Amino acid sequence: MAESHGTPAKGTGAHTEADGGHGGGFPPFESSTFASQLVSLVIAFVALYVIVSRFALPRVESVIDARQNAIEGDLAAAQKFKDESDAALKAYETELASARTRAQAIGNETREKLNAAAEAERKTLEDQLAAKLAAAEKQIASTREAAMSNVRGIAADAAGAIVQRLTGVLPDSKAVSSAVDASLKG
């Protein structure tokens, strides 16, 4: 078998055809083909191993690692941004709260100030009014006094005149004035 295999390609082909084609040996158990297959397998498999271990796998690994790193980096960046936005939100809220209290304080202060000013104004106005009232009252009193004293004179004159008309006698002015005083008092 090996001899016929050893002859040039034409002879080898004829041999295989005759041998394996029709009812010959079972090709997988044809031991004359083993050496050729083994040599090819060794060359092919070693080539494959070298290609896979030197080029293919490191390349795939680097790409997968790069992707992993990119994903982790992106996640970290996202976390950082989230933290930043959380901090900004917190700062905004504290700022808002302090602004609110400040606004309240300013409002209160303004209200108090305005109240105080209004109170003071009211007081001065009241004082002024009171002073005016007092002055007016005084004037009324003096006017009344004056009027009263005039009334007395007029009353005394009238009483004297009445008495003279009735009696024909001019009454004593002293007696008239005391009588007028008495009646005014009553």
Partner 1 sequence: MKIDPIHQFNIEPLFTIGQIGKHTIAFTNSSLYMFLSVAVISLLMIGGMAGRQLVPGRLQSIAEISYEFVASTIRSTAGSEGMKFFPLIFSLFMFICISNLIGIIPYTFTVSSHIIVTAALAFLVFFTVLIYGLYKNGFKFFKIFVPSGVPIYILPLVMFIEILSFFLRPVSHSVRLFANMLAGHIALKVFAGFVAMLGVSLGALGWVGGVLPLALTVALTALELLVAFLQAYVFAILTCIYLNDAIHPGH
User: First and final CA of the chain: distance in angstroms?
Assistant: 177
The 3-class SS string of 37-73 reads: HHHHHHHHHHHHHHHHHHHHHHHHHHHHHHHHHHHHH
Distance, CA of 123 to CA of 129 (rounded, Å): 9
Which CB sits closer to partner 1, 42 or 147?
A: 42
Binding flag, residue 13, partner 1 (CB under 8 A): yes
Selected from 18, 44, 99, 125, the binder of partner 1 by CB under 8 A is 44
DSSP 82-122: HHHHHHHHHHHHHHHHHHHHHHHHHHHHHHHHHHHHHHHHH
Binding flag, residue 14, partner 1 (CB under 8 A): no
Binding part of the chain for partner 1, among 37-45, 116-124, 127-135, 170-178 by CB under 8 A, reads: 37-45
Residues touching partner 1: how many (CB under 8 A)? 47
* 3-class SS of residue 1: coil
Selected from 65, 67, 99, 125, the binder of partner 1 by CB under 8 A is 67
Binding flag, residue 105, partner 1 (CB under 8 A): no
Q: Which residues would be at the binding site for partner 1 (CB under 8 A)?
A: 2, 5-6, 8-9, 12-13, 16, 20-22, 26-30, 32-42, 44-45, 47-49, 51-53, 55-57, 59-64, 66-67, 70
